[in-house]
Amino acid sequence: MAATAGCGHSTSLSTYSSASAPDKQCEQLQEWLSAAGPEYPILNAVMADPEPHRLQIIYTRIDRDRHNNPELREYHYGLDNNRYFYPASTVKLPISLLALEWLAEQDVEGLTSATTMLTDAAAPAQTSAYRDPTAESGTPSIGHYIKKILLVSDNDASNRLYELLGQDYINQKLANKGLRHTLINHRLSTAMTEEENRQYNPIRFIDAAGETILSLPARHSDTRYINTSHPKLGKAYIAAGERIPTPMDFTTKNRLSLGDLDGVMKRLIFPQLFAQSERFALREEDRALLLRYMSMLPPDSSEPAYSAKEYPHNYSKFLMFGGEPRQIPEHIKIFNKTGWAYGHVIDSAYIVDLKNRVEFFLSAVIYANKNDTLNDDDYQIDEVAKPFLRELGGLIYQQELKRARPNAPDLTALEKVTAPATVPAMQH
């Protein structure tokens, strides 16, 4: 497998750009991966035969100058933004950011992420949402939906924000931010046609007195947002209980390249490194909400509350901790979004060790589908994908622990935003 596909390039970065990075950056990452010791058995097995796993990796070092300003340097393996993989739940991250950007744009008095959001149904395939017993208020809101997305990757919560924004807003906004290898065109885990996915529910925002302060009618998109390259995956797939001996067509499915996903994460963590037009225009309190719940572990949440048995600490923390349930040390904070479907397992993370003053970005996708048949539920997620990501994260983390930095990072802002007490506005 060529390890330099897409090497030395980043997605529409302004002050941060690795467009002129030498190819040896990619060679160095491949060297590290190939030289992993026996304590990384799954990583070694995958690297011995990487092509069936369609592996893509972006590792980004972070150095701080004496004013604590970040400087980034990327290392790639197999990166190719034109090589399609199904992004699964990773699309929920840009949807969440855009929902908060949309919220700020409304400029309606009393409208916040905590305002009650009631979803009506205007078509047979649509469903309404008026109550949410997991919220303190008992009603849905943008903020509560985002909590559920970031804590346990809740599908319904993401679908409600998709219905709020619609395909036109989502795709045009992402393209304008330079994220041009992304298309979001359907709800998740719902049996809807392409046309039904272009129709959006009526929505009302209600204040504490029960008055409607903002109302959206039923809407629809005329534009078809499809993958014009007509990507196909697998050698066969299961449909209606039958094996279809041809690749599965993903023309009308979501798309989010690893470079774009990594770019979304970097725009959230270090917005100052991007041109104003390429940032997510978030109010500071909304950004703090994102960071807090992105790093929080499910058992540590009270609203909503999650069982540690069903949602262990590492439920959605694959890099460094994927696999069987395990604890995550309190001094390690992982701001990330995962996804898994059709044999693909993806994780994009900003990983911080508050005790040792270590920070880095790591994004990866691996395909674990030995028989290359989709929808047969015969994937090697627990045997290969999650252990690989755990070992990959561990290998990079060990490299980070050992390397010298020009200046120790000041991570005070992260300590505040992840503290159990009230969330202050985070600044860099």
Give per-residue pLDDT as tens, 279-305. Answer: 999 999 999 999 999 999 999 999 999
Residue boundaries of the structural domains of the chain? 24-417
Spell out where 129-270 has E strands: 182-183, 199-200, 203-206, 212-216, 219-220, 232-233, 236-239, 242-244, 248-249, 255-256
With cut-offs at 50, 70 and 90, classify the pLDDT of residue 25: low
pLDDT for 273 equals: 97
pLDDT-derived band at 28 (thresholds 50, 70, 90) equals confident
Report pLDDT digits (tens) over 79-89.
999 999 999 99
State the pLDDT confidence band at 421, using cuts at 50, 70 and 90: low
pLDDT reading at 10 higher than 60: no
d(CA 374, CA 14): 39
CA 251 → CA 189, 233, 282, distances in Å? Answer: 17, 11, 32
Among candidates 269, 285, 261, which has minimal Cα distance to 364?
A: 261
Average pLDDT value for residue range 51-71: 97
- pLDDT value, residue 22: 42
Average pLDDT over residues 102-114: 96
Q: How confident is the model at residue 232 (pLDDT cuts 50, 70, 90)?
A: very high
Q: Are 156 and 201 in contact (CB under 8 A)?
A: no
Q: Which of 272, 129, 260 is nearest to 203 (CA)?
A: 129
pLDDT band for 8, please (50, 70, 90 cuts): very low
* Percentage, residues of the chain above pLDDT 90: 90
SS (H, E, C) 265-297: HHHHHCHHHCCHHHCCCCCHHHHHHHHHHHHCC
Domain range 24-417, CATH architecture: 3-Layer(aba) Sandwich (3.40)
Q: What is the dihedral of CA 317, 32, 28, 180, to 10 degrees?
A: -20
Q: What angle do CA 387, 390, 393 make, to 5 degrees?
A: 150
What is the per-residue pLDDT for 24?
53
Confidence of residue 27 (pLDDT cuts 50, 70, 90): confident
Beta-carbon count within 10 A of 395 CB: 21
Cis peptide leading into residue 202 (ω within 30°): no
* Contact between 142 and 161 (Cβ < 8 Å): yes
**pTM recorded for the entire structure:** 0.93
The SS3 call for residue 260 is: helix
Query: CA 13 → CA 85, 87, 175, 271, 422, distances in Å?
Result: 23, 22, 13, 10, 33
